[in-house]
Amino acid sequence: MIRRVDRYRFREAGGFVVDASAKRGGEIVPFQTVPDPESCVVLLTQHAGRSNVPLVRPGETVIEGQKIADSDDAMGVPVHAPISGIVRKIEDVYHPGAGAGAPAAFIERHAPESPLGSRVFDPDRLDEVSTETLLGAVREAGIVGLGGAAFPTHVKLAMREKAARLVINAKESDPNVACDLRLQQEYPDEIVAGIRAMSRILDPEEVIFASRAGPGAFPELEALLARAGVAVAHIRPSYSVGSEKLLVRELFGLEVPCGGYPPDVGVVVHNVFTAYAVARALFAGEPLISRGLTLLSRATGPRNLWVKVGTPLRDVLRFAGLDPERFRRLTVASLLMGRSVPDPDVPVIKATAGICAFEPDEPDPYDRSLPCIRCGSCNAVCPVGIYPALIMEAEARGQTARLRRLHAEDCIDCGLCSYVCPATIRLTGSLRRATATVRPANGSGASSGSEHPGSGDTDRPFGRGQRSC
Amino acid sequence: MDRPGSPYQIELSPHIHSGITKDGLMARTFLAMCVPAVAAGFAMGTDALIHIVLAVGTSLVCRLLITALLPRGSRPQDDRSAASPLVAGMIVGLSMPIASPYPLTVGVSALTMTVFKWLQGRAFGRKYVNPAAASKLVLLGGLTLAAGLGAGMLFYPGHLRLDLWSAAGFDRVIEFYETQRLSGIESLILWKTHGWIGGASGLAVLVAGVGVVIWLKLKWRIVLSLFLVIGSLAILVGALTGGDVVGRLVFHLFTGSVVFMGFFMATEPQSTPMTDGGQCAFGALLGVGTFLLQQMNVLGGSIIALVAMNLLTPFFDRIGMRRPYGHGGGR
For residue A190, which of A126, A268, A278 has the smallest C-alpha distance? A278
Strands A100-109 and A39-43: antiparallel
Q: Chain A 381-400, CB below 8 Å of chain B: which residues?
A: 383-387, 389-390
Q: Please state which of the ranges A131-140, A277-286, B77-86, B220-229 shows the lowest mean pLDDT.
A: B77-86
Q: Is B329 on the interface with A (CB under 8 A)?
A: yes
- A335 within domain boundaries: yes
Q: Is residue A101 domain-shared with residue A138, that is, in the same domain?
A: no
**Beta-carbon separation of A370 and B328 below 8 A:** no
Residue A108 lies in a domain: yes
pLDDT tens, residue by residue, A334-353: 999 988 898 899 999 999 99
- More confident: B183 or A224: A224
Confidence of residue B79 (pLDDT cuts 50, 70, 90): low
C-alpha A383/C-alpha B324 separation (Å) is: 9
Question: Cα B249–B255–B257 angle (5° rounding)?
Answer: 125
- Please tell me which of the candidates A257, A340, A405 has its beta carbon nearest to residue B326: A257
Which of B325, B327, B331 would best serve as a mutation to test chain A binding (most A beta carbons within 10 A)? B325
pLDDT at A66: 94
Residue B75 has pLDDT above 70, yes or no: no
* Residue A335: closest CA among A20, A46, A48, A34: A20
**How far is B251 from chain A, CA to nearest CA, in Å?**
30
Mean pLDDT of A95-115: 86
β-bridge pairing A79-80 and A53-54:
unpaired
8-state DSSP, B326:
T
pLDDT grade, residue A252 (50/70/90)? very high
**Residue A141 within any structural domain of the chain:** yes
B24 in A contact zone (CB under 8 Å): yes
The interaxial angle of helices A131-140 and A272-284, nearest 10 deg, is: 100
pLDDT score, position A449? 31
Is the CB of residue B4 less than 8 Å away from at least one CB of chain A?
no
Residues A215 and A309 in one domain: no
With 0-12 / 13-18 / 19 or more C-beta atoms within 10 angstroms meaning exposed / middle / buried, residue B224 is middle
pLDDT at B243: 82
The answer, for B80 touching chain A at a CB cutoff of 8 Å, is no
**Rounded Cα gap, residues A316 and A318, in angstroms:** 5
Q: Is the pLDDT of residue A119 over 80?
A: no
Q: Are residues A239 and A337 in the same domain?
A: no
pLDDT on residue B155: 66
Lowest mean pLDDT among A256-260, B120-124, B183-187: B183-187
Q: Is the pLDDT of residue A97 over 70?
A: yes
d(CA B225, CA B279): 8
Residue A196 · residue A123 · CB < 8 Å: yes
Q: Whole-angstrom Cα distance, residue B114 to residue B251?
A: 35
Residues of B in contact with A383 (CB under 8 A): 325
Query: How far does the CA of residue B186 sit from the closest CA of chain A (Å)?
Result: 35
Q: Is A203 a residue whose pLDDT tops 80?
A: yes
Mean pLDDT, residues A380-394 taken together: 95
- For residue B325, the chain A residues in CB contact (below 8 A) are 245-246, 249, 255-256, 383-385, 410
Closest by CA position to A422, among listed A362, A366, A338: A366
Q: What is the residue-averaged pLDDT of chain A? A: 89
Say what percent of chain A tops pLDDT 70: 91
> In this prediction, what percent of chain B has a pLDDT beyond 90?
58
Distance from CA of B108 to the nearest CA of A (A): 22
| pLDDT confidence tier of residue A469, bands split at 50, 70 and 90 | low
Residues A308 and A395 in one domain: no
Give B174 to chain A, closest Cα distance, Å. Answer: 37
Q: What is the pLDDT of residue A440?
A: 65
Q: What integer pLDDT is reported at residue A458 of this predicted model?
A: 42
Q: Which domain holds residue A103?
A: 35-112+290-363
* Domain harbouring A216, CATH code: 3.40.50.11540
* Position A290 confidence tier, pLDDT thresholds 50, 70, 90: very high
How many interchain CB pairs under 8 A, A with B? 170
When scoring B2, B6, B9, B13 by the number of chain A Cβ atoms within 10 A, the one with the most, hence best to mutate, is B13
Interface touch A245/B325, C-beta < 8 Å: yes
pLDDT above 80 for A206: yes
Weakest mean pLDDT among A226-230, A423-427, A452-456, B30-34: A452-456
Q: Are residues A262 and A343 in the same domain?
A: no
Whether residues A75 and A161 share a domain: the answer is no
Q: Determine the pLDDT at residue A311.
A: 97
Tell me how close the Cα of B270 comes to any Cα of chain A, in angstroms.
Answer: 5
CA B266 – CA B272 distance, rounded (Å) = 7
- Half-sphere exposure in the Cβ direction for A196 (13 Å, CA): 23
- A347/A359 same-domain check: yes
Q: Report strand pairing: A165-170 vs A267-271.
A: parallel
State the smallest CA–CA distance between residue B318 and chain A in angstroms.
9
Taking an 8 Å cut-off on Cβ atoms, the answer to whether A410 and B324 are in contact is yes
For residues B239 and B284, the answer to whether their CB atoms sit within 8 Å is no
Instruction: Give yes or no for B148 touching A (CB within 8 A).
Output: no
* Whole-number pLDDT of residue A456: 31
Reported as half-sphere exposure (CB side, CA atoms, 13 A), residue B129 has a value of: 22
Task: Spell out which residues of chain A touch residue B73, defining contact as CB-CB under 8 Å.
Answer: none
Q: Is residue A257 pLDDT above 70, yes or no?
A: yes
Q: Write the pLDDT tens digit of every residue in B169-223.
A: 888 888 878 777 888 788 888 888 888 999 999 999 999 999 988 888 889 999 9
pLDDT at B190: 83
* pLDDT tens by residue, A51-91: 999 999 999 999 999 999 999 888 899 999 999 999 999 99
> DSSP secondary-structure letter at A165?
E
Facing A364 at nearest CB: one of B11, B18, B317: B11
Q: Could you tell me if residue A370 is inside a domain?
A: yes
**Nearest CB neighbour to B269, from listed A331, A340, A373:** A373
A40, HSE (Cβ side, Cα atoms, 13 Å): 32
Report if residue A187 sits inside a domain.
yes
Q: What is the mean pLDDT of chain B?
A: 88
Query: Same structural domain for residues A343 and A370?
Result: no
Smallest Cβ–Cβ distance between B18 and the set A16, A334, A405 belongs to A16
Which residue in chain A has the smallest CA separation from B15?
Answer: A335
In the predicted model, what is the mean pLDDT of residues B105-122? Answer: 93
Q: Is the pLDDT of residue B12 over 90?
A: no
Share of chain A above pLDDT 90, in %: 72
Whether A352 and A415 map to the same domain: the answer is no
Which residues in chain B are closer than 8 Å to A406, comparing Cβ atoms?
321
Q: Cα–Cα distance between A352 and A333 in angstroms, integer? A: 5
Instruction: State which of A254, A284, A314 marks the end of a domain.
Output: A284
Q: What is the pLDDT of residue B99?
A: 87
Flag whether A257 is in a domain.
Answer: yes
A150 and A248 share one domain? yes
Task: Grade residue A323 by pLDDT with cuts at 50, 70 and 90.
Answer: very high
pLDDT of B69 above 90: no
CA-based nearest distance B234→chain A, Å: 30
d(CA A174, CA A353): 9
Residue A2 lies in a domain: no
Domain end residue (candidates: A243, A264, A284): A284
Whether the predicted pLDDT of A193 surpasses 60: yes
pLDDT at residue B1 in the model: 42
Helices (H), A310-466: 313-319, 377-381, 388-396, 400-405, 416-420, 428-438
Main-chain phi, psi angles of A209, to 5 degrees: -105, 110
Asked if pLDDT for residue B111 goes beyond 60, the answer is yes
pTM score, two decimals?
0.90
pLDDT in tens, A19-37: 999 998 888 999 999 999 9
**What is the Rg, in whole angstroms, of the alpha carbon atoms belonging to chain A?**
21
**Which residue in A326, A386, A467 has the most chain B C-beta atoms within 10 A of its own C-beta, making it the best mutation to test that interface?**
A386
Of A358, A370, A385, which has the smallest distance from its Cβ to B329's Cβ?
A385
Nearest Cβ partner of B270 from A256, A336, A373? A373
pLDDT surpassing 80 at residue B8? no
Mean pLDDT of B117-144: 90
- State the pLDDT at residue A383: 95
What residues of chain A lie within 8 A of the CB of B131, using their CB? none
Residue B11 and residue A258: Cβ atoms within 8 Å?
A: no
A20 and A157 both lie in a single domain: yes
Instruction: Using the predicted structure, report yes or no on whether residue A450 has a pLDDT greater than 60.
Output: no
ipTM: 0.89
In a domain, A3, yes or no: no
CB proximity B81 to A under 8 Å:
no
The confidence score (pLDDT) of residue A454 equals 29
pLDDT value at A99 more than 60: yes
Number of domains chain A contains:
3
The angle subtended at Cα A149 by Cα A144 and Cα A151, nearest 5°, is 40
Average pLDDT of A217-241?
94
Buried-state track A7-26, b at ≥16 Cβ within 10 A, e below 16: bbebebbeebbbbbebbbeb
Mutation site, A176, A368, A419, interface B, largest B CB count within 10 A: A419
Average pLDDT over residues B95-102: 90
- Residue A410 and residue A434 in one domain: yes
Per CB-CB distance under 8 Å, the chain B contacts of A174 are: none
- Residue A23 contacts B, CB cutoff 8 Å: no
Last residue of a domain, one of A308, A331, A363: A363
Phi and psi angles of residue A50, each rounded to the nearest 5 degrees, phi first: -70, 160
* Residue B7, pLDDT score: 65
**Contacting A residues, span 295-354, partner chain B, CB-CB under 8 Å:** 325, 327-331, 334-344
Of A18, A377, A428, the CB nearest to B12: A428
